[in-house]
Structure 1
Amino acid sequence: MNRRTLLAAALLASLTALNAHAADPLKVAFVYVGPVGDAGWTYAHEQGRLAMEKALGGKVATTYVENVPEGADAERVIRKLAADGNKLVFTTSFGFMNPTEKVAKAFPNVVFEHATGFKVAKNLGVYETRQYEGTYLQGVIAAKMSKSGTIGFVGSFPVPEVIRNINAYTLGAQSVNPAIKTKVVWINSWYDPAKERQAAETLIAQGADVLTQNTDSPATLQVAQEKGKYAFGWDSDMARFAPKAHLTATTNSWGDFYTRTAQSVIAGTWKSAEVHGGLMEGMVKMSPLNAVIPADTAKLFETKKAAIIGGKLKPFQGPLKDQSGAVKVAAGSEMSLADLKGMNWYVQGVEGTIPK
């Protein structure tokens, strides 16, 4: 073999290796706080992962770990995923924020995205939906469907994300009936069907006849149906679990965001950012309305939804007062993003106190 042939062979081998390397898929990992299941928060994220896989095909190789407790165990899981060669890691619960930040510092060449948090770094971004827009619309329907003037909310943890939804639910209802009251029962868990069921039963016993939740199972809906009341799905469409009670659901659609993020990492264009998507961006979607909802209520719902999408209606626009009557947002003003992310107070009409 002459020198020219050897050089050509070496060049071909080099190009082959380079092309093989270029074709390696981006390894992407997801950390889930609950079970993938068939409804709720983690289920919605899993649907987003699957949508990303479908859109990008062989460009990505994904994995996930479910049922990861928030805290020290989360750090162990996140660290292992980064050490295993994943170059993009999505951590999908508020309580994963500090562990994600810590691991991101140790793996500067890995991109981390954290859902619902507020800490960012050069290789750490955050993302969430304006889910409260849909919760506001739930409140509109709840006020129209309620006979008692009292609606209920099954709360998970007393963090700003959940408090925003309680307040938005109340404000939407008050836009129809200013005298309506919201009762809240906290269960201190994102997913615990037994506790969710007990909380729903308590709320109904206290007079609430339309319920919503910030928890992951359909237990609240199932109790509502058993008791002849109404309720809303959460994070995903839960109509099949309680078709008579399920009025609509505020759902999260993560697929496009996950796809765009992976594409930007592959292209080398990813930059840390805070992403907030709502009805306008298609990251929040409302499931089909139950046929039991009267036509005038459905029309009002659609009108208000269109106003939110068009930017004409902001759920947290002033005037807003807290339980004590103190003005928190003046008339003509809109609550800032920083205040929304730190919300730690109830609007007037919500009964009880926020647990410490």
Structure 2
Amino acid sequence: MTKIKAFSRRRFLQTSAALAATSAMPLGLRQAMAAGSLTVGFVYVGPKDDYGYNQAHAEGAAAVKELEGVTVVEEENVPESVDVINTMESMINFDGASFLFPTSFGYYDPYVKETAPKYPDVRFEHCGGLWTEGDPANAGSYFGYIGMGQYLNGVVAGHMSKSKKIGFVAAKPIPQVLNNINSFLLGARAVDPNITCQVIFTGAWSSPVKEAEATNALADQGADVITCHVDGPKVVVETAASRDCYICGYHADQSPLAPELYLTGAEWNWAHVYTEFVKTVLAGGEIPNFVRGGLADGFIKMSPLGPAVTDAAAKQFNAVRDEIMLGGFAAIKGPLKDNKGNVIATAGQSFPETDIALESMDYLVEGVIGSTN
């Protein structure tokens, strides 16, 4: 079984005692194991077939269903509100779930943090949140270094853009989104340092009308390669294709939506992560409270290169991917300023993908046209 790594725990927990701390296995999991069965619950903020964030998680849940002795319960379209508490409690009390994956970013604080202490026999694993010491011991957070996927998107975009203008449709300026925007541009600038990236924030994880408007606005301003960080990229992909723009995907594989214009995409590989989590529990192991992984660890993957990708683009894409697979890759490295002129990194300074500081990112790099305000 592949070992699940908690890459950033030394920097995150900062003491040797805390470093060694993993959550004790809740009683409910031990009882389920003794009974030879385990019920796992997945909660999604949107539909399971959104070609995006929720579909990627649902594909992971589908893989868990194939494991012997495991029952999966799911609920989709659950808002980031008290509704998620009701859903989690229903799964626990009526379905017998003892291992929960509330997958949306806004579920963690306050809803998971409020619910977990009420059910100490249940394990709560949350995607994207930043579990900190003092949070419930039966909760944890996991995420992947998908900014590296957006960096690879940018490498291909840098080769394929004729206008030297690329575009990004973003939901909200939280650290993970900002890291993806910055990584996308920096990947493109590894090809041509004169490339710029226009970003438009919609203000919502799912807003099809605003996503279409933003994509059209980027095309109107000359962007000829577009990517995004919204829950369901379908509208962005289809709108970009209608404007004859190339597309770099996100969350899941959107190539069926625009097969001729889809270049590649940064995808989650939750099927691997979730099956490894559940296998670890079934084997009597424990999952650290803070887990992160990258390309080499199977947390993320890249969509196959599309038919439009040139040989030069493919060659650099493959070389950079091989470098990232070795670990320790840094997209954010000096000398580098933000788009307001502030120094982010001095010459020789770098922030590798595993650096916990990236999960507090609050800036856009030089060359990104847009504001976090």
Shared fold (TM-score, shorter chain, > 0.5): yes
1:68: how far off? 1.1
TM-score normalised to structure 1 length: 0.89
Distance in 2 (CA, whole Å) between partners of 1:313 and 1:208 is 28
| One-letter amino acid of the counterpart of residue 345, structure 2 | V
Distance in 2 (CA, whole Å) between partners of 1:105 and 1:329 is 40
Contact 1:320 1:329 in 2 (8 A): yes
Alignment partner of 1:127 is 2:139: no
The within-5 A match list for 1:53-72 is 53-54=65-66, 56-57=67-68, 59-72=69-82
* Residue of structure 2 equivalent to 1:331: 347
Q: What is the Cα-based RMSD across aligned positions, in Å?
A: 1.9
Partner SS for 1:44: helix
Distance in 2 (CA, whole Å) between partners of 1:200 and 1:334 is 32
Per-residue CA distance 1:282-320 (angstroms, 9 max, x = gap): 211111111211101110111111111113632223333
1:278: how far off? 1.2
Alignment partner of 1:95 is 2:106: yes
Partner SS for 1:280: helix
Moved more, 259-268 or 240-249: 259-268
Q: Which has the higher contact order (CA 8 A, sep 6+)?
A: 2
Contact 2:260 2:307 in 1 (8 A): no
Alignment partner of 1:86 is 2:97: yes
1:122: how far off? 1.3
| CA radius of gyration, larger in | 1
1:89: how far off? 0.3
* Residue of structure 2 equivalent to 1:139: 154
| One-letter amino acid of the counterpart of residue 217, structure 1 | P
Contact 1:124 1:272 in 2 (8 A): no
Identity of aligned residues (%): 37
TM-aligned CA distance change 1:312 to 1:275, over 3 Å: closer
* Residue of structure 1 equivalent to 2:45: 33
Any unmatched runs of 5+ in structure 1? 1-18
Contact 1:122 1:271 in 2 (8 A): no
| One-letter amino acid of the counterpart of residue 347, structure 1 | V
Moved more, 77-86 or 117-126: 77-86
Moved more, 330-339 or 158-167: 330-339
Moved more, 177-186 or 257-266: 257-266
Distance in 2 (CA, whole Å) between partners of 1:202 and 1:271 is 44
Any unmatched runs of 5+ in structure 2? 1-30
| One-letter amino acid of the counterpart of residue 370, structure 2 | G
Distance in 2 (CA, whole Å) between partners of 1:352 and 1:250 is 22
Q: How many residue pairs end up in the alignment? A: 335
Distance in 1 (CA, whole Å) between partners of 2:302 and 2:266 is 5
TM-score normalised to structure 2 length: 0.85
1:76: how far off? 2.3
Per-residue CA distance 1:12-61 (angstroms, 9 max, x = gap): xxxxxxx999444211001111100151111111111111221x12x111
TM-aligned CA distance change 1:337 to 1:214, over 3 Å: same
1:115: how far off? 0.2
Alignment partner of 1:177 is 2:192: yes
Alignment partner of 1:269 is 2:285: yes
Per-residue CA distance 1:222-263 (angstroms, 9 max, x = gap): 122211111112111111111122111111111222112222
Distance in 2 (CA, whole Å) between partners of 1:70 and 1:20 is 29
Say which of 242, 250, 268 aligns to 2:266: 250
Moved more, 262-271 or 103-112: 262-271
Contact 1:139 1:169 in 2 (8 A): yes
1:97: how far off? 1.0
| One-letter amino acid of the counterpart of residue 100, structure 1 | V
